[in-house]
Chain A
Amino acid sequence: MPDVISVSGLHKSFGRTTALDGLDLSVREGEVHGFLGPNGSGKSTTIRILLGLLRADRGFAAVLGRDPWHDATDLHRQLAYVPGDVVLWPSLSGGEVIDLLGRLRGGIDEHRRRRLVERFELDETKKGKAYSKGNRQKVALVAALASGAPLLVLDEPTAGLDPLMEEVFQSELTALKAEGRSVLLSSHILSEVERACDRVSIVRAGRIVDSGSLAELRHLTRTRVRAVLTTAPTLQEVHSWRGLHDTVVDDTELRCSVEADHLGELVAALGNRGVASLTCQPPTLEELFLARYQAQPDAGGAPPSRSTQEQPV
């Protein structure tokens, strides 16, 4: 299956600031792809290049197999976008904006529009100026979701929504996926990403530091282990176990984090020595992201020791 979004080696600078520094990204057809990264890491710049609003300095970008800069207009017939900070025309009502955007995109599904307005409990008669942040977001979401576009680009779409509305958004996202539509979802809300996304890409300082399914990402990260042994281990013994980090030995107790590839070895070795109690804890999503957000680009996503010490095991 071809990728709906395919980006490689994308560079973009604004004056002396480098926004994108060789970014790669691929979104497969029919998947919901999470796009994660700290503020200022280049998510919105990437999205703007994919929309043809900005022109990349170097690198390759294709959306639905086309050049987003040259074929922007045609491409936008098959794409719906919700900006991160939704602005509406102060003098137009929400209903007017939804209709306008729908018509600019070449038509709107009336049935879907009505259903979405009801589900999101949107008051369409209010004017742009009178909406709260969450309600402005609902207007943009209804307009985007009601379009039949095969690709949706959503830049932090739920930042202003209350939990109930976020739930509605999640179920709409599931419905989109069932229809075979593709979504690029930039987000900060990890639970949302975990529930909705098939794959994620984590961007930091204008580069992708990790990309894959959540299971794959977890696999690359260390598991924390706390074991109470029947007898205190010798230092030599502990050093002979491979893949251990942040190791602390306190009499009979061993605390460490272990690389995923060596977890089995360690558990087997501990079993041979005799274990009184053993807990293994896979990294939480938050740790996964914190590790990637904070890591140096060349550190390969190793979690910093700070986080393992702070967290009670």
Chain B
Amino acid sequence: MTAATAPTHHIAPTISLGTRLAGFSHLLRLAWRRDRILIPSSVLGLVVLSVGSAQATLALYPTDEAASTGLAGVLANPSVVALYGPIAAQNADALAVFKTVMMGAFLTAVLGFVVVRRHTRTEEDAGRLELLGAGVVGRWSALAAAVTLGTIAVVAASVLSGLGLAALGMDPIGSVAFAVSWLAAGLAMVGVAAVVVQLASTTRGAAGLGFGFLGAMYALRAVADSADPGTLAHGLGWLSPLGWSGRVEAYGANRTWLLVLGVLTLVVGVAAAVVVLNRRDLGAGVIPARNGPRRARRLLAGPLTLVTRLARGTILGWTLGMILMGVVVGSLLGSVNDMVSDPAISDLLEKLGGSTGSVVNVYVATEIHFVAAAVAAAGIALVLRIVGAERSGLGEVVLSTPTSRARWFGAHVVLPVVLATGLMALTGAVVGLIGPEVTPEAPSLGASISATLAALPAIWVLIGVAAALAGALPRFAPLSWGVLLVTFMLTELGRMTALPSWVLDLSPFTHISPLPSGSFEVVSAGVLTLVALALIVGGLLAYRLRDVT
């Protein structure tokens, strides 16, 4: 039995590239077929984000002179720079893309990562790659197909956005630089994704590593961009792909050569991934899946604690997000007066927020609408988990125990209602703590919290819509997202256009009391609360009467 001692674990170096990539084109086509909605719609969303926001900003600040008045307020605020990165130059074009360079680079990187993960670790985790791997498919084919498709998605979003900006009449070289700012981060993240999906052994593990990396890179560049140029802290920004995006300085210095860094990271990442891939088993990773506790905590004993436990990460994420939002809004209050020295803009803000009074208060009222929409989205997502559970079969598992449908349904409504209340209070508190530090005009802590809490009835209505759909027509439950979008747009854009007031009144956002400077409208809040209650109760009744499949 000497043969048994022969080393068999090395990949024979004679295997040709063609063998290792066998089936590549089939896998690429399969991946494209599965992503033919996801990728085009994400790319379109990113293009609309960059071009739409640039167009809107150019309408407000059409000239370089108008732009530099707007810039003064923005640049004075370190928290804005930390959030969005530095502004490239004092001109209208640079201001037009000021917000979307960093936000878009981040989202493009997310897109690249998600596409790569979907066709590698997710497939492997689900066992589908094993099915394919048993056919004539090379060891590198899945990775190659995923990286190719991820690269295509990133390139499409970046290049089309650059073209769109140039089509608006913005500086062509600057538009190329803008595309590069997204490409550098996106391509780098595709390379990082290739490695991450080899290291982690589960889809969730890969998500944790990938998004953790992206978050760390964002934080690194936030610190670096806030620091003075020439310091060590500022120099650290070169380590972050998102730092590169800002340092391209589109419509300013236009450092298009930074694309090299993105491409280089992609190449190194793929090479490293191949090295790991050659050494590991199918289905395994370098980092093993983390185990859980042997026994459940005492608290995990009912539907509400179960739903809360399952949403733990989501709740934490929203909490951190709303604190960040509060910090930004609160610290911006100091520069609101500079930003809206133009009477046309303060008029616009008044329309958006539906509120009058001091500019600072009007600004707070406007931002509360956006905060409320975000919190409503968090609530809707939690309500819709009951539909997801029904689809996966987990609802059946719970409902076959002595858990009544009312308690199971109730848990999916109580958690979002409580979370929404907590998030609104938290955001109000952060704004109320930071605002008065930067300007005496800012609302006090109490006034700020009351103002955010006053928006709750509108949020409850949207949670109610999701609950009614989940209870009665689970197939149509995702329409809740459409209701959120349409009602929000109706109020925010409707006030600027000549829509009849009864149309505007259909949206719960229209009835949010215009605090902090206006008065609390008890009737509106009461009616919204009753509508929310009716929707929730209606959903529950329907849920108790229908088949749970």
Which A residues are within 8 Å of any B CB, using their own CB? Answer: 48, 51-55, 72-74, 76-77, 79, 81, 83, 85, 87-101, 103-106, 124-127, 129-130, 140
Contact = CB atoms under 8 A, between A and B. Distances in A.
A138 B186 CA distance: 43
Contacts, number: 112
Nearest to A99: B296
Interface in B277-307: 289-296, 300-303, 306
A97 B401 CA distance: 13
A230 B487 CA distance: 94
Given A83-B397, A87-B392, A101-B397, A73 B292 contact: no
Contacts of A98: 296
B26 interface: no
A54 B548 contact: yes
A89 B394 contact: yes
Q: Choose among A55, A89, A94, A97 the residue with the greatest number of B CB atoms under 10 Å from its CB.
A: A89
Contacts of B203: 129
Given A85-B393, A104-B401, A55 B547 contact: yes
Given A87-B394, A100-B300, A54 B549 contact: yes
A89 B308 CA distance: 13
B289 A130 contact: yes
A100 B294 contact: no
B293 A93 contact: yes
B293 to A, nearest CB: 6
A79 B399 CA distance: 12
A87 B393 contact: yes
B63 interface: no
B292 A95 contact: yes
A89 to B, nearest CB: 6
9 contacts: A76-B400, A89-B394, A91-B204, A95-B296, A99-B296, A100-B306, A106-B402, A127-B289, A127-B290
Contacts of B300: 96, 99-100, 103
Interface in B397-420: 397-405
Contacts of A76: 400-403
B310 interface: yes
Given A54-B549, A87-B393, A127-B289, A104 B398 contact: yes
B401 A96 contact: no
Given A92-B292, A104-B402, A126-B289, 6 more contacts: A73-B402, A73-B403, A87-B393, A92-B310, A101-B401, A106-B402
A100 B202 contact: no
A126 B125 contact: no
B288 to A, nearest CB: 9
A129 B401 contact: no
Interface of B: 125, 202-204, 289-296, 300-303, 306, 309-310, 392-394, 396-405, 545, 547-549
B449 to A, nearest CB: 33
Q: Choose among B290, B310, B393, B401 the residue with the greatest number of A CB atoms under 10 Å from its CB.
A: B401
A96 B309 CA distance: 11
B183 to A, nearest CB: 34
Contact of A83 (B294, B393, B549): B393
Given A53-B548, A85-B393, A99-B300, A127 B292 contact: yes
A73 B204 CA distance: 34
Q: Choose among B296, B301, B404, B545 the residue with the greatest number of A CB atoms under 10 Å from its CB.
A: B296
B127 to A, nearest CB: 10
A149 to B, nearest CB: 10
Nearest to A90: B204
Nearest to B392: A87
A126 B300 CA distance: 17
Contact of B293 (A85, A95, A101, A129): A95
A53 B399 contact: yes
Contacts of A101: 397, 401
A72 B294 contact: no
B410 to A, nearest CB: 13
Nearest to B395: A53
B249 to A, nearest CB: 42
B117 to A, nearest CB: 15
B289 A91 contact: no
A118 to B, nearest CB: 13
